[in-house]
């Protein structure tokens, strides 16, 4: 199970990510664009994915990862049921959402830092 604090930690781990409100939900934005929201009433997240990522992640379990049921869903907005998802999976989903919405320069900065850290771990010995 992923709760608000865990989801917040995941969503705010990216360059220039910030938390704000969006109606009755908590939104996570980069450069004023929403890449994820959290609904505290039912412990659900909505994330902005590419349509191919939406299809791919839904293959994990269509009962916990599925398109928003309207035109928003056809634009990549995807619901994730946080009561039954593993933290590693929601981390990957939020990363995809951030990379979908963030400007390319921020995405490249984030990815280059991540790969640099991985490179150091792999070749530190």
Report, in angstroms and rounded to the nearest whole number, the Rg of the chain calculated over CA atoms.
15
The span from the CA of 78 to the CA of 94, in Å, is 11
Please write the tens of the pLDDT for every residue from 18-56. 999 888 899 999 999 999 999 999 999 999 999 999 999
Q: Which pLDDT belongs to residue 22?
A: 82
Please write the tens of the pLDDT for every residue from 58-96. 999 999 999 999 999 999 999 999 999 999 999 999 999
Q: Which pLDDT belongs to residue 74?
A: 96
What ranges in the chain are assigned the alpha helix state H? 4-11, 51-58, 87-101, 104-123
Q: Which domains does the chain have, with CATH numbers?
A: 4-123 (3.90.1150.30)
Indicate the pTM of the whole model. 0.86
pLDDT of residue 102 exceeding 50, the answer is: yes
Q: Which pLDDT belongs to residue 112?
A: 62
């Amino acid at each position: 199970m992923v709760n608000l604090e865990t989801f917040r930690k995941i969503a705010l781990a990216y360059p220039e990510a910030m938390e704000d409100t969006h109606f009755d939900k908590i939104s996570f934005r980069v450069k004023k664009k929403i890449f994820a929201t959290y609904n505290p009433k039912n412990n659900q997240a909505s994330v902005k994915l590419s349509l191919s990522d939406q299809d791919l992640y839904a293959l994990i379990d269509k009962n916990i990862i599925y398109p928003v049921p309207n035109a928003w869903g056809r634009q990549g907005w995807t619901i994730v049921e946080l009561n039954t998802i593993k933290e590693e999976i929601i981390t990957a989903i939020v990363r995809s959402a951030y990379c979908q919405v963030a400007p390319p320069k921020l995405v490249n900065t984030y990815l280059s830092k991540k790969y640099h850290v991985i490179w150091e771990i792999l070749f530190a010995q």
